[in-house]
Structure 1
Amino acid sequence: MSTTGLGPAARGPEFVSPTVDPPSFVAPSSVLPPSARSAARRPPMLLITGLAVVVVAAGAGGAAGYLAGRDGPPPTPYTSSGGPADLVGAAARTLPGVVSVQVRTASGGASGSGFVFDDRGHIVTNNHVVAAGGAVTIVGSDGRRLDADVVGTDPGNDIAVLRVSPSAALRPLAFADPSRTRVGEPVLAVGSPLGLSGTVTAGIVSALDRQVRLGGAARQTAVQTDASVNPGNSGGPLVNARGEVVGVNTAIATLEGGGSIGIGFAVPIERARQVTDDIIARG
């Protein structure tokens, strides 16, 4: 079993399905030092079906399709319950509050995503994006680069808080009411997969309160989504059709170290919000 994360040091959440034995793990990165890239190329040890968890947060894929009857009328667009028109509006509201996170170290670097938490310049991302240390820079939706300080981290929840100089171009995102989140509702994952900033992909909430290991030894609840996760998405928001943050995209399951198989996980916003508030209070 091997674990590597998005930074130079070995790092990654360990997901264990409630119904199968522990799988092997492999984590891709869009930016890895030579030693980590070499380790990543080694064939993973496969247990059970070779299920692996990748420490990169999700970009959602696999939106629900519509099968029209052969002789029936064309499908009617659904807009007021989270359909395409709502997701267009959600993307427009979310993108100004999402940033790319870039980390530079002496031996390499890492990249990820984050979102604006408040109007004081606090940014939420994943701990594994900044765990290796180094200089941190964020890039806003307008292309502006800002140096960021790490206020604090919570490895067990895979949450880190950054701080930059407050800017009118950085718009805080709204947070979802957890009691209103439903299985099957449409969601968007927003971030910078493979360095492609401002990328938006769509999916649904596949499950709530899924027991997984996102950063520590203990299992915790996570929002499961049919997310298409790629390196660089880590720490970006999973938002509903109202543009409210449902969770912080963190990991996906893969087969034999490959790409997404439609099983992604996000730290629920209620826990991410509490952890962030605690970090800010301590910082």
Structure 2
Amino acid sequence: MRRPGGAPGTRGAPMSDSQQTDPAPLWWSRPDGLADARRDGVPAPRPHAEGDTAAGGAGASSPDPSEPGTEAGSGPRYDPWAVRPLHVVDTGRVPRGIRIWQVVAISLGAALLAGGTGGYLGVLAERRSSTRLELPQAAAVSRDRAPESVAGIAAGALPGVVTLHVSGGGGSGTGTGFVLDPQGHILTNNHVVADAKRITVTFSTGESVGAELVGRDSGYDLAVVKVTGVRGLRPLTLGNSENVKVGDPVVAIGAPFDLSNTVTAGIISATGRPITAGGDKGDGGDVSYVDALQTDAPINPGNSGGPLLDAQAHVIGINSAIRGADEGQDGKDGARQSGSIGLGFAIPVNQGKRVAEELIRTGHATHPVIGVTLDMQYTGDGARVAAKGDDGASAVPPGPGARAGIRPGDVITKVDGQRVHGGDELIIKIRAHRPGDALKLTVLREGREHTLDVVLGSSSGA
């Protein structure tokens, strides 16, 4: 093949002035598909416009105006296939008006913005993920409990337990009580309502109604109040305190420090524990004598009058007193601890039942007596009969004691075989019985023991 401007078989021969060739192609700008033609130095064929004839025909593209023979006034025609040199920007120079520190500041700001945005998005993602967090949990089960469990006992007894709010006598107080019968009689402690001018009873449902005092007795520390117009009362079942044994489980319900419907549990720590509370032992006024049940179930101020229940949810006692810490044991300037230390005392329900029946029936209770005057200053073992009565008369006037053969100066050491250590304990043992009960007393007279049979008399309580 013959190449323009050169002899056959030669490459790169110079062209004449009348000949014009395309600029040498640059390797980075050559069109695709023209590699063979460019390699051989042959101008690449240009595509034919619509209406062009075959190669070299009359319909070829318009000539370059710079070429000889170009008609004047004809404009250049854009040739998309023309090869043009590329312009390379010198990146070694920073454009005028921009400083290095500005570039650094912009880069640093962008980095801080990106970091802050990323942190915020991370926190937001964590918060959103935490709302969907679910920890392992036991499945829901039946809320029913065995009747003999603490929960079962509480569920059955709470509807019959009430909180008493009392005002009058220059102050106010809170205590507990429980429903005795469908007529609305409620048993509580005497010291809860002793000075009451107004009594309000609140049930476990939150319903509150006024109550009136039916009767009270300071010697037993028991009282009965009554509510009217209340439907659906739930009386508690009374048990038998003679069946109680040390170690039996018990549940106490009350309103310690006005926290109503409070349930605590423990055991019977002792039975027949003689305690006295209130009043002046010298004259016996307003002193309560209780042959108590002792429990370690926590009892606090406000529990007074509440029920002590056995495993069958039967009332076996009326919570009445607690033993506080001795002075100085809590290290607060000799102050006595007011809360529970595990020594609580309840009036046996057998005694409470008899007194409640008398209060409902007559408004007052009777006390069993042996009809003698005791020497409360005696410090020896046992209870000594005084030489003379309080009015200077005989310490053994006509009555149960005189008929049993008791004499002034006798020391009573046992009641039905149970040891007594003082006058208070003898009264407690006597009051644990009913008027008309027969007892055996062991007395020490002139160094010798005698056994005497006595039938208890009766006196009206306060």
Structure 1 length-normalised TM: 0.67
Which of 236, 240, 243 matches 1:180?
243
| Structure possessing the higher radius of gyration over alpha carbons | 2
Tell me the secondary structure at the aligned position of residue 175 of structure 1.
coil
**In the TM superposition, what is the alpha-carbon distance from 1:208 to its structure 2 partner?**
0.9
Cα pair 1:157 1:214 within 8 Å, conserved: no
**In the TM superposition, what is the alpha-carbon distance from 1:184 to its structure 2 partner?**
0.4
Give, in whole Å, the separation in 1 of the partners of 2:351 and 2:251.
19
Cα pair 2:160 2:234 within 8 Å, conserved: yes
Q: For 1:76-101, what per-residue CA distance to the aligned partner results, in whole angstroms no more than 9, with x for missing partners?
A: xxxxxxx9962221111110000000
Tell me the secondary structure at the aligned position of residue 272 of structure 2.
strand
Cα pair 1:194 1:232 within 8 Å, conserved: yes
Cα pair 2:253 2:308 within 8 Å, conserved: yes
Q: For 1:75-134, what per-residue CA distance to the aligned partner results, in whole angstroms no more than 9, with x for missing partners?
A: xxxxxxxx9962221111110000000012262211100000111100001100111121
What is the one-letter code of the residue matched to 2:193? V
Higher relative contact order (CA 8 A, sep 6+): 1
Cα pair 1:142 1:169 within 8 Å, conserved: no
Match of 1:251 in 2: 321
Cα pair 2:219 2:289 within 8 Å, conserved: no
Match of 1:223 in 2: 293
Correspondences of 1:229-240 after superposition (within 5 Å):
229-240=299-310
Does 2:274 align with 1:274?
Answer: no
Structure 1 outlier segments of 4+, above 6 Å: none
Which of 216, 220, 224 matches 1:161?
224
Match of 1:103 in 2: 166
Provide structure 2 residue ranges, at least 5 long, that are not aligned to the other structure.
1-145, 279-285, 328-335, 364-462
Correspondences of 1:108-127 after superposition (within 5 Å):
108-127=171-190
Give, in whole Å, the separation in 1 of the partners of 2:315 and 2:258.
22
Cα pair 2:148 2:311 within 8 Å, conserved: no
Tell me the secondary structure at the aligned position of residue 156 of structure 1.
coil
- Which moves more between the two structures, 200-209 or 257-266? 257-266
Give, in whole Å, the separation in 1 of the partners of 2:264 and 2:147.
12
Correspondences of 1:47-62 after superposition (within 5 Å):
none
Q: For 1:146-194, what per-residue CA distance to the aligned partner results, in whole angstroms no more than 9, with x for missing partners?
A: 1000000011111010000153332100011223211101101101111
Tell me the secondary structure at the aligned position of residue 241 of structure 1.
coil
Provide structure 1 residue ranges, at least 5 long, that are not aligned to the other structure.
1-82
Give, in whole Å, the separation in 2 of the partners of 1:268 and 1:252.
15
Does 2:267 align with 1:197?
Answer: no
Instruction: Flag the 1:104–1:207 CA change in 2: closer, same or farther, 3 A.
Output: same
Q: CA RMSD in A?
A: 1.8
Which of 278, 292, 312 matches 1:242?
312
Give, in whole Å, the separation in 2 of the partners of 1:272 and 1:139.
22
Q: For 1:213-233, what per-residue CA distance to the aligned partner results, in whole angstroms no more than 9, with x for missing partners?
A: 145547431101013222211
Tell me the secondary structure at the aligned position of residue 95 of structure 1.
helix
Tell me the secondary structure at the aligned position of residue 92 of structure 1.
helix
Cα pair 2:274 2:292 within 8 Å, conserved: yes
Give, in whole Å, the separation in 1 of the partners of 2:262 and 2:269.
21
Q: Please state which structure has a larger fraction of its residues in strand.
A: 1
Structure 2 length-normalised TM: 0.42
Give, in whole Å, the separation in 1 of the partners of 2:229 and 2:302.
24
Give, in whole Å, the separation in 1 of the partners of 2:238 and 2:216.
20
